[in-house]
Amino acid sequence: MPNIGDVRVKIDLIRKMGGEITFEGNHCSLNMGQVTDSNPDLELSRKIRTAPLLAGPLLARRGYVEIGRPGGDAIGRRRLDTHLMALKAMGAKIEVGEYSYSLKADKLRGCDIFLDEMSVTGTEQAILAAVLAEGDTTLSNAASEPHVQELVECLNRMGAKISGVGTNTLQIQGVTSLHEASYCIRPDYMEVGSLIALAAATKSSIRIAEACPADQRMTRIMFGRLGVRWTDEGGDIIVPADQELTVQADFDGAIPKIDDMPWPGFPPDLISVAIVLATQARGTVLIHQKMFDRRLFFVDSLIEMGAGIVLCDPHRAVVVGPTQLMGKRLISPDIRAGMALVIAALAAQGKSVIQNVNQIDRGYEQLEVRLQALGACIERRRD
């Protein structure tokens, strides 16, 4: 399990509720037998997006829970409606407060649920509640990202009965209890995609070991529109150095588009690094980010570095490259934009200083240490 900021906050949340957790290296052991009746700490909950996912398990376990409004990245409104509608359909009564939601359920009951959007965390919430609900649940319009698939696989190993993994319809047979199990987490496909972009933007070669290449099929298509190429060798991905980054026009000669969409489409979390990569490719490309209304605002920093970017509106940017980026003092607004700024700084001429790096630490483990091992001139300062 990665030793990243969001994981550490989640561990603190569970420990404050009475859970026993040991975390050594990349191995984590959890014993939830002594979880008390206390609700998740609201102050800690505000730090991460996934804190509300405690609602489903705690409702199933004890019939009530109070959860805080979601925290995490400042990339626009982070609605919980999909979570709450799924829990309400299974029998939860919900009260909305200024800073939190209170949920009660005498008993969760399985039912037919059609999610209003393919929300990853909304899907995970419904799964976590349905596995211990009475009866069967059909979950349609469900997200199917790799980490959703892994949640299903882990729960099935613990005694859940879930079918349809990898599809947008899940069949869940409620069970009375779960048992202990061991599970090994797959590579983070967003981190792998970020490293591919890093190598290409800095014209460097890299071998990403045990990278699960099958998870990068759409990234290969989208990055391919910028001229990026790589090869697979077993479970490794090999990005060659000095690639000729040239925007590949559509067959009719039109300017191509890189846009995000639900899995197996291009991940929204790779849009930020794709923009930086586009600044180093010859030609013009349209970047269309559909989900969040503030995710693209970090391009102001890239423009200050010399990037040829026109921000059309909160969701679309036109990038014209290549441009020589220049080092600047920057601020990381969120996890993925922070990683994008690291890539931009390494591709830039001169020195850059990136502040608010705790945002990057939330999703990338010891990033500067691993980049130093690759030869990057990067260091962490405490001043």
Active site residues: 73
Are the beta carbons of 302 and 310 closer than 8 angstroms?
A: no
Residue 33 phi/psi, 5-degree rounding, is: -65, -25
Which amino acid would we find at residue 112?
D
Strands 112-114, 64-68: pairing kind: unpaired
Are the beta carbons of 86 and 129 closer than 8 angstroms?
A: yes
Strand partners of residue 368 = none
201-218: buried (b, 16+ CB within 10 Å) or exposed (e) per residue?
A: bbebebebeebbbebbeb
Which sign does the torsion angle of CA 121, 53, 114, 177 carry?
Answer: positive
Tokens linked to 148: 């959703």
Q: What is the 3-state secondary structure (H, E, C) of the chain?
A: CCCCHHHHHHHHHHHHCCCEEEEECCEEEEECCCCCCCCCCHHHHCCCCCHHHHHHHHHHHHCEEEEECCCCCCCCCCCCHHHHHHHHHCCCEEEECCCEEEEECCCCECCEEECCCCCHHHHHHHHHHHCCCECEEEEECCCCCHHHHHHHHHHHHCCCEEECCCCCEEEEECCCCCCCCCCCCCCCHHHHHHHHHHHHHCCCCEEECCCCHHHHHHHHHHHHCCCCCCEEECCEEEECCCCCCECCCCCCCCCCEEECCCCCCCCHHHHHHHHHHHHCCEEEEEEECCCCCCHHHHHHHHHHCCCEEEEEECCEEEEEECCCCECCEEECCCHHHHHHHHHHHHHCECCCEEECCHHHHCCCCCHHHHHHHCCCCCCCCCC
